[in-house]
Structure 1
Amino acid sequence: MSQLDNRLDGLLELRKAKGRFRRLREYDTSRGSGLTDFSSNDYLSLTTSDELRADYLKRLNDTDVILGSTGSRLLSGCTPAHSHLENRLCDHFGAPAALLFNSGWDANVSFFGFVPQPGDWVVFDELVHASVHSGMRGSRVPSARRLQFAHNDPESLAAVLRKIAAQPSSSAAPPTVFLALEALYSMDGDFAPIPTLLDVFDQHVPREQQCVIVDEAHTTGVYGSQGRGIVHQLKEGAGRDDGRVTVRLMTFGKGVGCSGSVLLASDTVRSFLINFARPFIFSTALPVSTVLALESAWDLLSSEGGQRKRDDLAAIVAYFQELLAPVLARTPPELLRLPDPTPTPFPGAPEGLSAHPHSPIHGLLSPTPHALSAFLLARGFIVRPVVPPTVPPGGERVRVCLRAGHSREEIAALVSAVAEWVDSGTAEAEAAKAGRPLRARL
């Protein structure tokens, strides 16, 4: 074994000792496999849609170029198909401009790595995605000017903004204050109270110095009219676009059932990213086959069939919560519980968006997520454990992701298996053996 392998192996052994070692697991979820997937982010079950498959195959049959884009967008990869999709998404989301990226990760790293300048401030929810942190670390904004606030906490945000206001400006031009949020957080499955947070932002930062970025990775296609997302629904309900959310990230690898993403922003931000964002400049563009798949997906999402899928998902989520509630009510919270929800994230919500909408993501907190995951897998359910460093210590969990294609029978069987885990005493025994009770709050 080489010196490098020896050193890396030692680091891997340390991770194993902490119970944080990751490995790839292959699952067969095809018909007849006996496994039901409750881990996928395919919230609307688009990846198995016969309607989408037929439309996509027709598009492939009608085009000459079906595979790679052959180069970066700045070289040979800016095809009519790419431009058409960008223009379509720009119109669909009601945005000034749109720029495609190969992934949500690339988009966040590009924006946060290159748009904020040295004298600016970046304020972010403590649970924003790792890609935002990677972008900030690569940016020219010093760490002292990158400040987090407690998750979904308006008072904590206000305290951070007061701290910024108390700092003397180091340049003649006032700094831009960037505020990074997610519409729906992927671990707790809770919504950001966007209107409340924006009101706090307005109280402390002049509008001309604001730049609000909302990552809608887990809401794209799933919420809002024709799947336009939470921000669009809030704007539509208010009857105006007051410009408070200036940048939106819509990703395609979850509810849209495909891959890639689009950043919705001003023409100036789009042009700046084309000129300075290295992940965009030096990456081969999305394959034409993927662009065609996205056209088909948005045809479906914009149709009555897409709305039926959103309605089906909402019904499945409500049914799961109805069955799970009595199980958790009789379970000691140190053994199994859900994270504390955000109180009414959308008070006075517009039509089509409830004050506290249902989320397809449910993080079941447990001190022994690996044991619980294995228990459920033995009963035919893929429910993956999530452990540090993905979540903070004390936030270990299994994450249940619901899909429009799940049947009520599958939901009932999963909840029954969770109840069996609790009632058999297995959970308590495993927790005692681990000696790691849940903290009262993340």
Structure 2
Amino acid sequence: MNQGHHHLREALEKRRIEGTLRSLRPRSEGIDFYSNDYLGLARNAELQHLLLKQINDQPHLLSGSTGSRLISGNSSEVIAVEESIAGHHQYPSALLFPSGYNANLALLSTLPARHDTIITDELVHRSIHDGCKLSNARKLKFRHNDLKSLEDKLRKQDGHCYIAIESLYSMDGDLAPLREIAEIAEKYSASLLVDEAHALGVFGNGLVAEYQLQEKVLTTVVTYGKAFGAHGAAILCNELIKAYLINFASPFIYSTSSQDLQWRAIKTSYDYLKNNDLSSRLMENIRIFRKQGLPTPSAENSPVQAIIIPDHHRLKELQNTLFEEGFLTYAVYSPAVKAGTERLRICLHSFNTEEEITKLTQIIQHYT
């Protein structure tokens, strides 16, 4: 190996010794308590057959898009789905992206200008942090869900500020004080950007729609690879923001558009959820889990329930024990989370049974 790559080997070896080395493995068979398929749509046979029928009737959905949206990839399908999405969320416009990461990268790298300031909750998605790195704007962080910390930061700024938060946080499983933050943003004439990746579907069309905050939230990012069982993301915004992103957002301009099947799958999921209430079963399973009394920082109605176990070896032993009993869970180590806050991240779903949830929690209780 080239001598200049020595540091790569050292970094990987360090993680191996610490027991935090990541690797790709085939999907395991077992009881799912680790995927983001909160409503079970990715495994829903009825939804799959609905989509299959559409493919049989319109096989062109399977074809590649042939280019970026600005060249040959802007099909009538993607235009129609964007209009439909905007209507569902009561926003003037929507702009589709291949993934939530891509959407956040586009939004944060493009919208804030050189003399602006981006103030993010310290626990926002990595895609938001990475988008900020590509921006010319100044970036600050406020303490997680701390309104005083946010207001202290805003009070000291001279130029325009953007506030970037999630509505439901994916690692702690807690909710942002969304209405209060919207009021603070309005008070300081700041622009509020909300990532609803884990809230969409779990809370209908997301918490921005639930609280009717569309007028106070400049952009909302909704992603479809979680509760919607599909893939991709949309930035919900006004016509001005959409036009600006189309003209200046590199991740949008220089990416080949996804095939129409991806957009059709998103629309089909919206239609299916409009006629099928899957979230009430999910909420009942969350209630069953919470009734077991495990200590957690997570919200009582969140599908993500974090069990803090800062001892690496104990956490790994718990995950292995659960795996041997047929349970698939996800252990999160630093640097993905702050050192000392390592946790078992439990994802609850509409399809989990009470017996499965009870047995899972009984095993966890021996380690907490």
TM-score range, shorter chain: over 0.9
Give the TM-score of the pair, scaled to structure 1: 0.79
Map of 1:398-417 to 2, 5 A cutoff?
A: 398-417=344-363
Question: Kindly, what percent of the aligned residue pairs are identical?
Answer: 36
2: CA distance between counterparts of 1:122 and 1:52? Answer: 40
Aligned to 1:23: 23
Q: CA deviation at 1:163?
A: 1.8
Amino acid at match of 1:152: N
Amino acid at match of 2:177: P
Structure 1: gaps of 5 or more residues: 30-34, 168-174, 236-240, 329-336, 342-355, 428-442
* Superposed structure 1 runs of 4+ greater than 4 Å apart: none
Cα deviations by residue, 1:243-293 (Å, 9 ceiling, x for unpaired) = 211110000010101110000011111111111111111111121111221
Aligned to 2:254: 282
Q: How many residues align?
A: 364
Cα deviations by residue, 1:275-314 (Å, 9 ceiling, x for unpaired) = 11111111111211112211211111111x1x2x110000
Amino acid at match of 1:211: S
Q: CA deviation at 1:371?
A: 1.9
Amino acid at match of 2:163: L
**Alignment equivalent of 2:343, drawn from 397, 401, 415:** 397
2: CA distance between counterparts of 1:90 and 1:270? Answer: 12
Q: Bigger CA drift: 70-79 or 395-404?
A: 70-79
Aligned to 1:157: 150
| Contact residue 111 and residue 135 of structure 1 kept, 8 A | yes
Q: CA deviation at 1:64?
A: 3.7
Distance change >3 Å, CA 242–CA 252, structure 1 → 2 = closer
Amino acid at match of 1:191: L
Aligned to 1:54: 49
Q: CA deviation at 1:201?
A: 2.8
Aligned to 2:216: 244
2: CA distance between counterparts of 1:149 and 1:163? Answer: 13
1:113 lines up with 2:109 in the alignment: yes
Structure 2: gaps of 5 or more residues: none
Q: CA deviation at 1:190?
A: 0.2
Aligned to 1:184: 168
| Contact residue 90 and residue 214 of structure 2 kept, 8 A | no
**Alignment equivalent of 2:210, drawn from 223, 226, 233:** 233
1:213 lines up with 2:193 in the alignment: yes
Map of 1:115-134 to 2, 5 A cutoff?
A: 115-134=111-130
1: CA distance between counterparts of 2:135 and 2:6? Answer: 33
Cα deviations by residue, 1:203-255 (Å, 9 ceiling, x for unpaired) = 3x13xxx21111000011121xxx211011101xxxxx572111100000101
Map of 1:264-303 to 2, 5 A cutoff?
A: 264-303=236-275
- DSSP-derived class of the 2:255 partner: coil
Cα deviations by residue, 1:83-106 (Å, 9 ceiling, x for unpaired) = 110010011111011100011101
2: CA distance between counterparts of 1:58 and 1:4? Answer: 54
Amino acid at match of 1:250: V
Cα deviations by residue, 1:401-427 (Å, 9 ceiling, x for unpaired) = 0010111111112112223x33xxxx7
Q: CA deviation at 1:357?
A: 5.8
Aligned to 2:304: 361
Task: Give RMSD over aligned pairs.
Answer: 1.6
2: CA distance between counterparts of 1:48 and 1:219? Answer: 19
1:384 lines up with 2:330 in the alignment: yes
